[in-house]
Amino acid sequence: MRTHLCSSSYALLLNTLPLLTAPLCRLAMARNHSSKDSQPKVDKMQQLVHSDPSGGWEQCWEKGLTPWDLGQPTPILVDLHQRGALPKGRALVPGCGSGHDVVAIACPERFVVGLDISENAMKQATKLFSSSKSAEYFAFLEADFFTWRPNHLFDLIFDYTFFCAIEPEMRAQWASRIRDLLKPDGELITLIFPISDHEGGPPYKVSVSDYEEVLHPLGIKAESIVENHLAIPPRRGREKLGRWKRSICKSLL
């Protein structure tokens, strides 16, 4: 563990580009040009991840094969933050990639840990954000979500494109880690994406019931699941916002 201070259908599934308008997306646009252009990148990314499940992500970051990267924070997360609708305290973003979402919600009331297995991702995030005004409110950590043992639990875990990135057989383990890392009254926020019927991945297809299947047995239930009305245009209609909490068994005595 290391702390770093501080498409054909697949391309269309992942890609964001050319419909993005925010200036921050120019970087990503320059890298990816169009979903058609990014399909070879998606294919190569999948090959790398399949050929080496532990080191494949690192190679993707090393080679710049990151077609999922918006180059900006996730709009719905920023909206929730700005409306004061996110838990304060300690937050975790597993598989945080270049870290935009981590920095977007870091503030004096919330310390955010961005975790990624890739050293290159964490170096990139650190380079992008080490001189950010809110640098004292976040940290980037190179570690494996499935084995990492932190000293503190979290009030909030935000998962976007991590659940769909891991092998579907790992989803029950993902849920156990979420349970173990959340405070008893903590909240899990998921962007359920990509809701589709394609085969293969990553990204692997997901559905609301895929989350329920692994979270319900652990007593984690959705308090709301709604369409993500701020999904970026290419992902619209295939993305839902889920807010989950542990259901507390109230004593009848």
Contact set with ligand SAM (CB under 6 A)? 57, 68-69, 94-97, 115-118, 121, 144-146, 160-162, 165
User: Bridge partners of 139?
Assistant: 113
CB of 216 to ligand SAM, least distance (A): 23
Q: Look at strands 240-246 and 182-192 and give their pairing.
A: antiparallel
Q: How many angstroms separate the CA atoms of 62 and 191, rounded? A: 26
> Which tokens in the block code for residue 149?
């043992």
Distance of CA 159 to the CA centre of its chain: 4
* The three-state (H, E, C) secondary structure of 110-153, written as one string: EEEEEEECCHHHHHHHHHHHCCCCCHHHEEEEECCCCCCCCCCC
Shortest Å, Cβ 61 to ligand SAM: 6
Shortest Å, Cβ 250 to ligand SAM: 35
User: By C-beta, is 149 or 250 nearer to ligand SAM?
Assistant: 149
Specify the length of the chain in residues.
253
Q: Which is nearer to ligand SAM, 142 or 187 (CB)?
A: 142
183 phi and psi angles, rounded to 5 deg: -65, 160
Q: Which is nearer to ligand SAM, 84 or 199 (CB)?
A: 199
Q: Read off the amino acid at residue 230.
A: L
| CB neighbourhood size of 153 (10 A) | 15
CB-CB contact of 102 with 114 (8 Å)? yes
Integer angstrom CA distances of residue 153 from 92, 143, 182: 9, 16, 5
Q: Taking the complex as a whole, how short is the minimal distance between the CB of residue 217 and ligand SAM, in angstroms?
A: 21
Closest CB to ligand SAM among residues 121, 232: 121
Q: How far is the CB of 56 from ligand SAM (least distance, A)?
A: 9
CB nearer to ligand SAM: pick between 127 and 221: 127
Smallest gap from Cβ 31 to ligand SAM, in A, equals 13
Q: How far is the CB of 146 from ligand SAM (least distance, A)?
A: 5
Q: Could you tell me if 196 and 223 are in contact, meaning their C-beta atoms sit under 8 angstroms apart?
A: no
DSSP 170: G
Q: Between 50 and 221, whose beta carbon lies closer to ligand SAM?
A: 50
Cβ distance to ligand SAM smaller for residue 30 or 252: 30
